[in-house]
Amino acid sequence: MSAFELMTAMGHEQVVFCHDPQTDLKAIIAIHNTNLGPALGGCRMWAYHTEEEALRDVLRLSRGMTYKAAVANLKLGGGKAVIIGDPKKIKSEALFRSFGKFVDSLGGKYITAEDVNIRVADMEHVAKETKHVTGLSSKPGGSGDPSPVTALGVFHGVRAAVKHKLKTDDLKDVRVMVLGVGAVGSYLCGYLHEKGAKLTVADLDSEKVQEMVTKYGAKVVDPATAHMADVDVFSPCALGAGLNDTTIPQIKATIVAGGANNQLLDEKTHGKLLMDRGILYAPDYVINAGGLINVYQEIQGYNRDAALKKASEIYDTLLKIFIESDARKIPTHQASNLIAERAFLK
């Protein structure tokens, strides 16, 4: 499909291709919908194999941000950016400042923040060229790293799923497999451990895995087989598209509730496949909205307590989605989509 065909199919307003020959910046900014407010969404850096792969990823991610903001009742639209390249090789102040200039050229229609392989320090460089950045620690009222609040929202989402599926408010001895123990996954492990959950973890980074073993006594499995772990909750917190034709039939958990974006490879097919197998799925853009909530509070005038309280409301939001899913006999992601679309489609 062409770029315009992809945009039309997913309902995007604007896609900006960015290139700076001096820094070799190659980036794509996707703005999905701004009916409720400016498009806010993080920027990730990834060594995509092809430009089409990068385009499809940023389109999916930005669309998810629209739904995420709408379900969380935030006056924001959905946007996202990707920088193409190996983060271990191409990061520089000049590259991020160049990206900042492209963001600034949009006049506030897109607000950027950190995402996969991007840190607050990188966004500080972006902020030297544009005010349309959030999640900073240096500016007055900056909220800094949103990962702890994202993880807190995922934690409350796990609680809601356990309540609905396992009929208990107690996480003690509930077995949780956390795939990906980076910024969000590691904080999630801490919240779960505090409530007595039994943790199993997997990550390509052995140092991060060992930290979870040392801190929380977590068991370790191979990332390639993490979805097959004999647990109650499978919590994917790495990259998306991990729920697909191959993995779903192998899942032993009765709950999938994690912080990764775009977990379903194909929404129509794989959401129903999970439902047919009796697996309760917490829609990703609902359960991982804590980071967006956190940076939205920064735009409003940052109040940490307000951000944490709003993130805790993910518990009630998911329970409503689960109830609507049961009542309509539709997959949970369809139930959450209906709620979101009532808000942003005009």
Catalytic residues: 80
Q: Is 232 helix (H, G, I), strand (E, B) or coil?
A: coil
The two counts, helices (H) then strands (E), for the chain are: 14, 12
Q: Which two tokens stand for residue 22?
A: 């001096």
Q: Provide CB contacts within 8 A for 340, sequence distance 6+.
A: 66, 67, 68, 70, 71
Question: Which of 286, 267, 231, 214 lies closest to 70 in space, CA to CA?
Answer: 286
CA distance 111 to 81: 10
CA distance 186 to 174: 17
CA distance 140 to 160: 35
Q: Report whether 137 contacts 131 (CB < 8 A).
A: no
Q: Is 270 helix (H, G, I), strand (E, B) or coil?
A: helix
Q: Is 4 helix (H, G, I), strand (E, B) or coil?
A: helix
